[in-house]
Amino acid sequence: MNAKTADKIATGVIYAISSIVALILFAMLGFILVRGVPHLSWHFLTSPARAFEAGGGIGIQLFNSFYLLILAMLISFPIALGAAIYLNEYAQKNRFTAIIRTAIEILSSLPSVVVGLFGFLLFVVQFKLGFSILSGAIALTLFNLPLLTRSIETSLAQIPDLQREAGAALGLSRWETVLHVILPAAVPSIVTGVVLSAGRVFGEAAALIYTAGQSAPALNFADWNPFNISSPLNPMRPAETLAVHIWKINSEGIMPDLNAVSAGASAVLIIVVLLFNFSARKLGMKLYKKLTSA
């Protein structure tokens, strides 16, 4: 067999393998969307779930998912940003930073159900936070923190050292250089990373089952005082999210239209995650353009 034939065969095999991967993805997406989209309606997206009869929606779960996501991001982003800035801009190569890096790696490989159980024991039981949005947000933070830190650190590392030298040579302190030069330059790629991780957090179920809980009490969307128990903003109420809802109705749901609700909810979940993924790239590119050629 000569080199040309071998090359053709190799190319063919590689194409076939990548096509299979793409095919599996599209088949899955297609299956979920074709099954689910017909059930979507304004009513389905906004009304509360019903446990025993048909015609329930996912309104509260959808709201819970977004609220939890925002809270989790509010907690994890500043911590991840600080850690990433430290690791990339300040940390010297020594034992201490090696330990931090290893810790982050281990944290990122923890199965999310373990994070959930840990959150249950520590926050729900020990700290008496109960099954609540707050417990869930903290669990999601543990789950999200290592990946977000890594992603921001990569964004900072992409900024060439020339910029750091230019800052230093201009008489900027290290912090001023980070704040006024490095961070603005890294914003597009940081934003992309944050939105991508938001997609992952949005679809997370295992870490939430034992922390944010599996019930979605009725909410009064006219009451925005976070201290009232029926207020959507109350962080101490239990809050079943969309992903947890899908898991729950499939394992113990008894409503007659359970298949329709499950299919519809899955479609919504997938659509939101896809939106996050596409908009992450778009947003990053848009910001980059704005920064470089505005």
- Binding region for other proteins (CB under 8 A): 92-93, 160, 162-173, 176, 180-181, 184-185, 291-294
Residue 34 CB, nearest distance to other proteins (Å)? 45
- Can you tell me whether residue 218 is helix, strand or coil? coil
> Angle 40-41-42 (CA atoms, 0-180°, nearest 5)?
135
Q: How far is CA 63 from CA 67, 129, 218, 230, 233, in A?
A: 6, 21, 12, 13, 10
59 and 239 in contact (C-beta within 8 Å)? no
Nearer to other proteins, 89 or 204 (CB): 89
Report, in Å, the least distance between residue 190 CB and other proteins.
Answer: 13
Nearest CA-CA partner of 61 in 259, 234, 214: 214
Which residues, 6+ apart, have CB-to-CB distance to 137 below 8 Å?
A: 68, 71, 72, 75, 212, 235
Measured from the CB atom, the residue of 78 and 184 that comes closer to other proteins is 184
Q: How far is the CB of 98 from other proteins (least distance, A)?
A: 15
User: For residues 34 and 166, which CB has a smaller minimum distance to other proteins in the complex?
Assistant: 166
Cβ distance 63 to 216 under 8 Å?
A: no
**210 Cβ contact partners less than 8 Å away, ≥ 6 residues apart:** 116, 117, 119, 120, 124, 131
Q: How far is the CB of 255 from other proteins (least distance, A)?
A: 54
Considering the complex, what minimum distance in angstroms separates the CB of residue 280 from other proteins?
20
For residue 171, the minimal CB distance to other proteins (Å) is 3
Q: Cβ distance 188 to 59 under 8 Å?
A: no
Residues 239 and 133: beta-carbon distance below 8 Å = yes
Question: Considering the complex, what minimum distance in angstroms separates the CB of residue 30 from other proteins?
Answer: 41
Toward other proteins, which CB reaches closer, 115 or 183?
A: 183
Q: In the complex with other proteins, which residue's Cβ is closer, 254 or 294?
A: 294
126 burial via Cβ count (<10 Å: 0-12, 13-18, 19+): exposed
CB of 248 to other proteins, least distance (A): 47
For other proteins, give the closer residue by CB, 173 or 225. Answer: 173
Is 94 or 126 the residue whose CB approaches other proteins more closely?
A: 94
CA nearest to 234, candidates 59, 65, 67, 48: 67
d(CA 140, CA 16): 38
- Cβ distance to other proteins smaller for residue 178 or 242: 178
